[in-house]
Chains A and B, each alone.
Chain A
């Protein structure tokens, strides 16, 4: 390869897009390191505190796309107090100061402010794509800046963010000359939407492929929008409350018939069940269906819809579908790759929900299934063993039995054997979440068989430190380990401190680790940030005098090259 001029090598490198591969390339030799460095377009930073923007710019001066993740995963479940961190502002400031031609910014679990969005919109002439997932801290005013100032904006994708809706006119801030939109997703906005501005925007965006509306967009507006955008590929329906045969309904049906490219449906935040019939003409082409917010669509309407979606690859639904519904999925959706079944009733009150039978049916009927997230009330080892036999191809297997510590409901045994079968059969398993009654045994299995496992979520499981040790010793590829309410303590934490250098992060909350243990860890491993999150005022931990043995409520540690962060709030103590 060294016979080729750099430009040729660079051209070859352009075909290598995965981050891991590009990291490997850069290690081959100095010349490749340099070429790769200057040609890296997409940078992925899994933990925004592992590196600083300055170091990033030093290493990759020419990147165009940046993905940043902030808070730990358990922040999604309110385990991380507000104000912990993950601020994007310093990143945008640093990037704005430099001359990097940022075109795409993808943020997950970060704190974004209107100020940040304004700065972003003004600093990068070619900015094209903004994707915010599970972020917070901004309002529709920030969106207005983006709309106004980003002349070539293609993607504005807001997924499950907490946005202050000022009911302003952000949609009308898109200039009349703006015709480049490809993705517009504002489903998570709670407030009123300027429908006129929306319709005009959609009408002048011939490249629009993905449109996801919020609940304030009613049926008649949807009908008009569909008329303007027959080329749509992904549609998120907002509200669909209307009489079955109203004029709007009929108009919508007619418009949908023309949407021959439509492949993905989602939304239905407020939807009467009969609305689904409007989508009949497109069902047979759908590859992705997300009805997990459509609490009102269940029973026969749902079954009817699914029976027509033979090409479905991705299905997100509520557990109101029931085992019977899952059997329909299993017999219809032979192309299914990803299934998520979310709980309707969050308190395990025993409503119609799905059981192990539904899971087994899916595993038997859908040979291509590789990712599953399944919330259920009960499970058995036998079912899991069957699932493992049927589906050895799982890459992601997340099972959440709603009641902690619940055993196999038939044999009353722990679910060790069931999960053991899963990890033994699924050689490509990268992500696993376990639940139910589990002893150290399951972790022995995980350590032994889940050699490719990268992310493991543990809650209310295990008996002794050995459990955690099995995992740390066995899963060589572990990157993210998150544990809550499990009896793992200092012995496990301190057994091999170097492990954490190969991982992105470790989260332990309501476990048995003590302050003394964490301090020792921090001493042994200065390349880690060891954060103690204690909402009850950290000073009290020392004052009680039992410092060494005081249990730590929340521990979050991660490798970093830039040392202690400076933006930590008072309730975060970095050792």
Chain B
């Protein structure tokens, strides 16, 4: 399910080129939604003094996440290798249950629909969904 075809890669790159200018807003909104719609995800942020979805910490985290996604776009020909260090971080330091990658991916897709309703066509949706699944898999690589 996660092998990206040439068409997927092309589609994701083209869509990313259109939307990456808003990557900070996308990330901030995706993380905010995740915290509201899936409140169990808040457990990973118990160290934040302010866990509300629009807090500066939440926004900053959204920006960080989206920078990672943008980086993954440039490494999509070998995500396992390209995201090796990020995987180590998530596996050994952050220890985020990989089920949550799917949750955040879903919220990224919702934000794309909200912000880019015309550009986020079904063809873009399927390629981006596959890409995010591939990123999630690469992030899970070092877990066990």
- Report whether chain A binds chain B: no
Residues of A bordering B, CB below 8 Å: none
Residues of B bordering A, CB below 8 Å: none
